[in-house]
Amino acid sequence: MPILSMQGVAHLYNKGTPSQSKAIYDINLDIEEGELVGIIGHTGSGKSTLVQHFNGILKPECGKIIVDGTDIWSSKKATREARFKVGLCFQYPEYQLFEETVYKDISFGPKNMGLNEEEIHKRVLLAAEYVGLKKELLEKSPFDLSGGEKRRAAIAGVIAMQPKVLILDEPTAGLDPRGRDKILDMIKSYREKTGSTVLLVSHSMEDVAKIATKVLVMNNARVEMYGTVDEVYSRSEELRNIGLNIPQVSKIFELLNKNGLNLGSAYTVEKAAEIILSKGGASV
């Protein structure tokens, strides 16, 4: 049974007004438990709208959203449960940090779940560890943290609820390459350690290639492709036609292959290096 499903889902913004628009429609999708799904697509293609349906922040105009076997709009209880089963971290989540200390911010979600102090304490420490925030930072004001640390503190607040599904909407946006890599590594190891399902919305096809097990491509409010990194990225021509560019290194490999070198495909610099080294380097 898939952990997340959508059946015939559509969402309209500004319904009944002249600016009414279909942000997503005709969405049919099954995501299996434990996958790390990279969600890509041009600006305005519907990525954020899509993911905000999984924990009931947005209600669909039509269709069903099934989380862990339950239609999340079938009862109030089901909707509430979806909020805890699916943890959603918005783009620029650090703007939502507001407590006096980082500790209090991370504990906000678990507190809302009605957990006792001891359990909350355990979860805050564990979540901080997952995101690589040192213990001494927990008593600081969130406003004294660096940009990358703030981002990780905000993500820890979602992780502390121990959701079955973690959704991150552009978690690396605006960070420097080091901050970006730290977050990507953290997401990868979080999924490996917990077995959770993770959805990662990203503008970087290379970042997605680094850590995703599946890729979902949004285009003009619909799901255009869903498959493994290889299945999706090998359709480079179609991707280009919908405004997506495969990573630079993949283009170089495509050119080399066209010129008679039989290198196969590489979607990350690391993979490219591995392939070249395995061929003995000098002969390439």
- Binding positions for ligand ATP, rule: CB under 6 A: 13-14, 21, 23, 41, 43-49, 218
Residue with tokens 């909020």: 83
Report what 157 binds from Mg ion, ligand ATP, none; CB cut-off 5-8 Å by kind. Answer: none
CB of 243 to ligand ATP, least distance (A): 11
Q: Tell me the C-alpha distance between 267 and 207, whole Å.
A: 9
Report what 250 binds from Mg ion, ligand ATP, none; CB cut-off 5-8 Å by kind. Answer: none
CB of 91 to ligand ATP, least distance (A): 7
- What is the residue type of 164? K
Nearer to ligand ATP by Cβ, of 90 and 103: the residue is 90
Report what 46 binds from Mg ion, ligand ATP, none; CB cut-off 5-8 Å by kind. Answer: ligand ATP
Beta bridge partners of 206: none
In order, the DSSP letters of 157-204 are: HHHTT--SEEEEESTTTT--HHHHHHHHHHHHHHHHHH--EEEEE-S-
CB of 216 to Mg ion, least distance (A): 13
Task: End-to-end CA distance of the chain: give it in Å, rounded.
Answer: 45
Nearer to ligand ATP by Cβ, of 43 and 262: the residue is 43
Nearer to ligand ATP by Cβ, of 149 and 170: the residue is 170
CB of 52 to ligand ATP, least distance (A): 8
Nearer to Mg ion by Cβ, of 90 and 130: the residue is 90
14-53 residues near Mg ion, rule: CB under 5 A: 47-48
Crossing angle of helices 117-131 and 147-159, in 10° steps, is: 140
CB of 35 to Mg ion, least distance (A): 20
Enumerate long-range contacts of 133-140, CB under 8 Å, 24 or more apart. Answer: 133/102, 137/102, 138/101, 138/102, 138/103, 138/106, 139/101, 139/102, 139/103, 140/101, 140/102
Q: For binding to Mg ion (CB under 5 A), which residues are involved?
A: 47-48
